[in-house]
Structure 1
Amino acid sequence: MVRKIEACGVEKDTMINNLIIRQETEEDYKKTELMIMRSFWNKYWPGCTEHLLTRIIRDSQDYIPEISRIAEIDGQIVGAIYYTKAWIVDGNSRHEIATFGPLAVEPTWEGNDIGGALMRETIKLAQKQGIAGIVIIGEPYYYPRFGFERASKYKITDARGKSFDEIMVLPLNDDFSLIRGKLIESSDFEKLGDEAALLRISEEFPEYRKVKVKEGFMQIFEQHLGVVESVENDIYNVRYWEKLIPAKLAGDINEKPKAGSDVKFKWNHGGESEITMVFKNLLEE
């Protein structure tokens, strides 16, 4: 199934009229994996594992290809979302639901509501498939706009019985109110810990620079990592993938960047971008 999305965008200057949402084919696999790798690179820790997760999901008996989709613009894959079966378990009670991840957008196409288009389309597909609901562990500032609520409202926890804001629920039918318990995801996700498999798949793709901002979990989502390429008066041109983004300094920044500085910045797709932090890559000290 192919669906063309007309004028899908969140800013006047980023509207796109040729976004296609469709099912993935085998010919798409490597292109999709590369896009996903770029989307998550250095977001949680140096490098990423989501391109390996994508392969694991495709080979899993719990994969739901009927509602998983990719996004395409002029032949370029710019987004993807993958759904798998999951279960809410409470003692002997076991209810099948759906979860998703990764949800990825090509970084140079951010700001065009591609992730939103994928979410809206696949939520409709899940409802048509008769899926009781979608439960995820994700970004609590992002998913409520699609109807997701805190899982604590439904007495749903993670597999260890813990409750936190990142566990979110989207009921898709009236019966969901009867479902409560622990979220159990596909056991195939455990394969993500195979470091040898990660090394093998990574050798198939370009070698990107790994960046470590701080020790432990980074979770860089509302901002981005870039390198200052040049300085013109009070404008700092930040290299972010293939894009060069002009930015000014935040008012509370403690250190002025120079050409070659690693920075964290807010990318304002419809206005002025802002550098919020200068840091040293801990992998290159």
Structure 2
Amino acid sequence: MNFIIRQENEKDYKFSESAVKKAFENEEYSDKSEHNLVSRLRKSNLFVPELSLVAEVDKEIVGHIMFTKLIIKSGEDTYSSLALAPVSILPKYQNKGIGSKLIIEGLKIAKEMGFKSVIVLGHDKYYSKFGFKSASVWGIKAPFDVPDEAFMAVELEDGSLEKISGTVSYSKEFFC
């Protein structure tokens, strides 16, 4: 299957939000409002336009990924990172490698932009393929109760998380 990955633009918003909504319609662990999260994050100061990507098949948006800024707090110290959320692929295009390509391209762009790490809450068997490990390896914790193996991080620069520990601080947009 031929598909392209490119940066999302404003004209794509309603189409990509529709793809996000459809991607999560039948997901067991979803509140079915991920499309609203995407919309809120775009309007926030955490939004990084270069890290909001879409996948297209025959000029139809079939997938979307977004990375936004977040911080890790350790006492008075704060460290910058990125949140990967959500990754959305229309059901009929799932398991065809589109999500993997979006993640790989997003991580590559994030690294090129100088970001040092990414945090994700998701399936450990899936995200480990991209180098993600339990964030607890570095002493990084979620701000809420979540299985250790599902809360993960990846270093975009070797050793970038070595001296960082603390609790991830998600913005209010994640909790509306």
Distance 2:154 2:30 in 1: 31
> Given the alignment, which residue of 166, 170, 176 partners 1:185?
170
Give the structure 2 partner of residue 9 of structure 1.
none
Distance 1:162 1:115 in 2: 23
The two structures, once aligned, show a CA RMSD in angstroms of 1.7
Deviation, 1:45, is: 6.2
Specify the SS of the correspondent of 1:165.
helix
Contact kept in structure 2, 1:152 and 1:163, CA below 8 Å? no
The structure having more radius of gyration, on CA atoms, is 1
> Given the alignment, which residue of 39, 51, 54 partners 1:55?
39
Specify the SS of the correspondent of 1:134.
strand
- Please show how residues 28-177 of structure 1 align to structure 2 within 5 Å: 28-44=12-28, 48-160=32-144, 164-173=148-157, 174-177=159-162
Distance 1:25 1:161 in 2: 35
With over 3 angstroms needed to count, the CA separation of the structure-2 counterparts of 1:156 and 1:117, relative to structure 1, is same
Contact kept in structure 1, 2:51 and 2:68, CA below 8 Å? no
Q: Map Cα deviations across residues 166-208 of structure 1 (whole Å, 9 max, x no partner).
A: 11010112332111110111222222xxxxxxxxxxxxxxxxx
Deviation, 1:64, is: 1.4
Contact kept in structure 2, 1:37 and 1:49, CA below 8 Å? yes
* Larger mean Cα displacement after TM superposition, 73-82 or 158-167: 158-167
- Please show how residues 269-284 of structure 1 align to structure 2 within 5 Å: none
Contact kept in structure 2, 1:97 and 1:134, CA below 8 Å? yes
Give the structure 2 partner of residue 19 of structure 1.
3
Contact kept in structure 1, 2:117 and 2:160, CA below 8 Å? no
Higher relative contact order (CA 8 A, sep 6+): 2
Uncovered stretches (5+) of structure 1, i.e. residues with no partner: 1-15, 192-285
Specify the SS of the correspondent of 1:65.
strand
* Larger mean Cα displacement after TM superposition, 132-141 or 111-120: 132-141
TM-score by length of 1: 0.58
With over 3 angstroms needed to count, the CA separation of the structure-2 counterparts of 1:114 and 1:135, relative to structure 1, is same
Distance 1:176 1:46 in 2: 29
Which runs of at least 4 in structure 1 moved beyond 2 Å after TM superposition?
Answer: 44-47, 160-163
TM-score by length of 2: 0.93
With over 3 angstroms needed to count, the CA separation of the structure-2 counterparts of 1:47 and 1:190, relative to structure 1, is closer
The number of residues matched between the two structures is 175
Q: Which amino acid aligns with 1:189?
A: F
